[in-house]
Amino acid sequence: MFIMLISSPLLSSSENSIDPTCTFVYDEIETGFISSPNFPHQFPIPIHCSWIIRAPIGNVITLYWTQFYLKEGLKATEYAFYINSSLNAGSTSLLPSFIEGDPMPLVTSKPVLVLEMDITDDRNIYLRNMDWFLDAFGFNITFTIVSFTVAHKIIPDYCSVYKCTILFLFSWFLWTLLSIWAKM
Q: What is the pLDDT of residue 6?
A: 36
pLDDT at 125: 75
pLDDT tops 70 at residue 112: yes
Considering the chain, what is the average pLDDT of its residues?
75
Residue type, 162: Y
Q: pLDDT: is 22 or 128 the higher one?
A: 22
Question: Higher-confidence residue: 24 or 18?
Answer: 24
Q: What is the mean pLDDT of residues 105-116?
A: 91
Q: Is the pLDDT of residue 26 over 90?
A: yes
Q: 27: pLDDT confidence band, cut at 50, 70 and 90? A: very high
Per-residue pLDDT tens over the stretch 79-92: 999 998 888 888 88
Question: Cβ neighbours of residue 161 under 8 Å, at least 6 residues apart?
Answer: 65, 66, 67, 68, 69, 102
Handedness of CA 132, 135, 139, 143 (dihedral sign): negative
- Cis bond before residue 46 (omega within 30° of 0): yes
pLDDT of residue 7: 40
What the chain holds in terms of domains, given with CATH numbers, is: 20-159 (2.60.120.290)
